Amino acid sequence: MTAEVTLKELGWSPFFQQQLLPEELESPDTCQPARVFGVQRTGLELRFVGGVQQVPMAGRWFQLPVEDRPTVGDWVLFDPLSQQIVRLLERHSLLKRMSVSKVGDLQLLAANVDVMFLVSSCNDEFNPSRMARYLSLALESGVTPVVVLTKTDLTDNPEDFRQETLKLKRGLAVELVNSLDPDSLAGLRAWIKPGVTVSLLGSSGVGKSTLINSLIGDAVQLTGGIREEDGKGRHTTTNRSLHLLPEGGLLVDSPGMRELGIADAEEGVAAMFDDVQALADSCRFADCRHESEPGCQVRLAIASGSLDEDRLDSYLKLKREELYNSETVADRHLRNRQLGKHYRQAAKNRSER
């Protein structure tokens, strides 16, 4: 039997409480707050004060844009009598990426996350450019990022990996861990507090499943080994899910990702590369491309050695990608709105005949 928990332990806060309408407060039996702990193809796993329940999603939800559908970490109001979701509450954060299966669409990763554990490993999988993408995603969403470097037992110099990571952004929190050594997880546990939701993101095979099992204290996820031919891990987690932790916090686990296309993250990219952005804002021309234009403060910084050209390249690459993907998503939304308008007009014409 699942132990009963309080709303606060599930992550409920005044931010969500103040969204309840007077009539919803007066009808707690039919407007029960519930948190999404799992997402299946046509339904959700909801957890509330009374326990856990699998709930199908009505067809109307699939007619909405992806961003308006419930995802892991969301809060919804649930009617136990009709077995229907009444409505989705506003989020205070949302992690999303470009869909790998639908061009121009978004895929939701998790909602209402407070801290993001960006997991990489101290081997050939270590990729600073990929980390910059994840960090931009976290900063855009207002989520506190923490880089977690796993498999420290597989290298003689784990501190080298930490120092390389610290170059990405000033003040970045970095934790070195061996997931099989409980003592090495003390730094991570300090981030996990009652009611705080932590998202665990990273590529396949970086030790996420082992880490989540160690944090929860139970083998809730399968674990896979490292392929000898390329040093990459075997994918084990297949669904996004939310877990209660012994410390009282909550942990979102997501499948490993080889690709993380970012969109709607202009502010996140600027925050990730705040040093480059500050220089760019000081250039003589507002549309400076930072190539050979006169008065380019970015090129002057590179020439003086105060800015690494590789960092500029990463900044420009993410800026281009973010702009392209955001325009693609906007075009798709416009086409959907125009198509919806066409269908509604056609239905109206038929009814008037």
CB 47 within 8 A of CB 72: no
Q: Of 49, 65, 90, which marks where a domain is finished?
A: 90
- From residue 255, give the alpha-carbon distance in Å to each of 202, 203, 268: 8, 8, 23
- From residue 249, give the alpha-carbon distance in Å to each of 90, 194, 210: 21, 4, 18
81 with 102, same domain: the answer is no
285: CATH: 1.10.40.50
Q: What is the pLDDT of residues 28-63, one digit of tens each?
A: 888 999 999 999 878 899 999 988 999 998 888 888
Q: What is the pLDDT of residues 66-104, one digit of tens each?
A: 889 999 999 999 999 888 999 999 999 999 877 655 555
CB 245 within 8 A of CB 251: yes
- CA gap 244, 73 in Å, rounded: 12
226 with 160, same domain: the answer is yes
- CA gap 31, 199 in Å, rounded: 27
Residue type, 164: E
Please give the average per-residue pLDDT across 242-253, as a whole number.
88
115 with 217, same domain: the answer is yes
- Output the pLDDT for position 227: 39
Residue 260 domain-assigned? no
Q: What is the pLDDT of residues 158-175, one digit of tens each?
A: 999 999 999 999 899 999
Domain, as residue range, for 27: 14-90
201 with 149, same domain: the answer is yes
Q: What is the pLDDT of residues 117-152, one digit of tens each?
A: 999 989 888 888 888 888 988 898 899 999 999 999
- CA gap 48, 51 in Å, rounded: 5
All residues at 6 or more sequence positions from 69 whose CB lies less than 8 Å from its CB, including other chains: 57, 61, 62, 88, 108
Q: pLDDT averaged over the chain? A: 82
Torsion over CA: 48, 96, 39, 256 (sign): negative
- CA gap 307, 231 in Å, rounded: 32
Residue 261 domain-assigned? no
Residue 300 domain-assigned? yes
Whose structure tokens read 């919806």?
340
109 with 239, same domain: the answer is yes
59 with 80, same domain: the answer is yes
Q: How many CA atoms lie within 13 A of 183 on its CB side?
A: 0
Least reliable range by pLDDT among 6-10, 88-92, 212-216: 212-216
Residue 3 domain-assigned? no
How many domains are there within the chain? 3
237 with 277, same domain: the answer is no
The kind and range of the H/E element at 251 are strand 250-253
